[in-house]
Structure 1
C-alpha cells in the first residue's frame, strides 16, 4: 500500500457520522453561553451604573447602601439572577476547558463533578445570603444602625 492509497484526497466527502439519539448537551451548553453572556452584560452594566454612577458614586457604597439594596425585592432578584447566570456560565466554561485539555477520563470526570458541586454550593450559599440578609442581626446600642433597627422592630 502506498501513501497515496492510504490518504484521502483533500476535500473529498467524508462519510456522515452516525447520529446519536437524545439531547445534545454540548449544543445547549453552547447556546446557553451565548444567551447568558448577553443577559449578563445587561445585568452587570446595570449593577455598575446603579452602584457607581447614581447617588454619591463609589464613596456612597457602604453597609447601609448594600442593606438598602438587599431590602428591595427587585434588587434581590436582580442580584440573584446575576449570581446564578454568572456561576453557571463560569462553571460551563470551566467544564468545556476541562473536557478539552484533560485526557485522563477519570481525572476529567472528577474535575467536572468538582466544578459542578462547587458551582451548586456557591449558588445555594449566595441565594441564601441575598434572601435572608438582615442588617439588624448583632446590632448593639453603640452601632450606627441602632436607631434604624429599633424603629423597624
Structure 2
C-alpha cells in the first residue's frame, strides 16, 4: 500500500496550466456559440421550408434547385452543415475522451470520427456549390420539368 499525503484543510489548490486546458476552454465556448447559431439557422430553415408558401407539400427537387440558385441560401445551408458537423464532432470527441479507458481505443475512435466528419463536410460543401439541376447536354427525358431544353 502506498502512502499518500492529504493536504491540510484550507490549503490553497493549485492547478497546473497547460495548452490542453486552453483548447478545452475554446471547445467549450464553441459548443455554446455554435449551439445558439444552430438554433437560429435550423428554425429559419424549418420556417422557410415548412411554413412559408405551400409548406411541406412544396418540397421537391425543384424547390431545392430554386433555393440553391440563390447564394444566400447556399451560404445558409453551408453554415448549417459546417456548424452542425463541427458541433457534433466536438460533442462526440468529448464523449470518446470521457468513456474510453485505453489510449489506443481513444485515438482509433477519434481518427474514425474526424475522417467521417471531414468526408461529410467536403462532400456536403461540394453538393451545395456544384449542384446543377439542369446540366447542359443531358437527355431531356431525364431533366426536371422546369428545365428548358436548349
- After TM superposition, the score normalised by the length of structure 2 is 0.86
Q: Which residue of 2 aligns with 1:93?
A: 91
Tell me the residue number matched to 1:52: 50
What is the CA-CA distance between 1:19 and the residue it aligns to? 2.0
Q: CA deviation at 1:10?
A: 9.1
Q: CA deviation at 1:17?
A: 2.5
Q: Distance in 2 between matches of 1:144 and 1:118?
A: 32
Q: Name the SS for the 2:101 alignment partner.
A: coil
Paired with 2:139 and 2:54, the residues of 1 have a C-alpha distance of: 27
CA deviations on 1:59-90 (whole Å, 9 max, x unpaired) are 01011001001111000000000000000000
Provide structure 2 residue ranges, at least 5 long, that are not aligned to the other structure: none
Q: Which moved more, 1:113-122 or 1:124-133?
A: 113-122
Aligned residue pair count: 147
| Distance change (3 Å), C-alpha of 1:37 and 1:56 | same
* TM-score, scaled relative to structure 1: 0.85
For 1:64, the equivalent position in structure 2 comes to 62
Q: CA deviation at 1:13?
A: 3.1
Q: What is the correspondence of 1:115-130 to structure 2 with a 5 Å cutoff?
A: 115-130=113-128
- 1:142 alignment partner in structure 2: 141
Is the Cα contact below 8 Å between 2:62 and 2:146 reproduced in 1? no
Change (3 A) 1:69 1:10: farther
Deviation at 1:145, TM superposition (A): 2.8
Q: RMSD value over aligned CA atoms?
A: 2.5
Partner of 1:38: 36
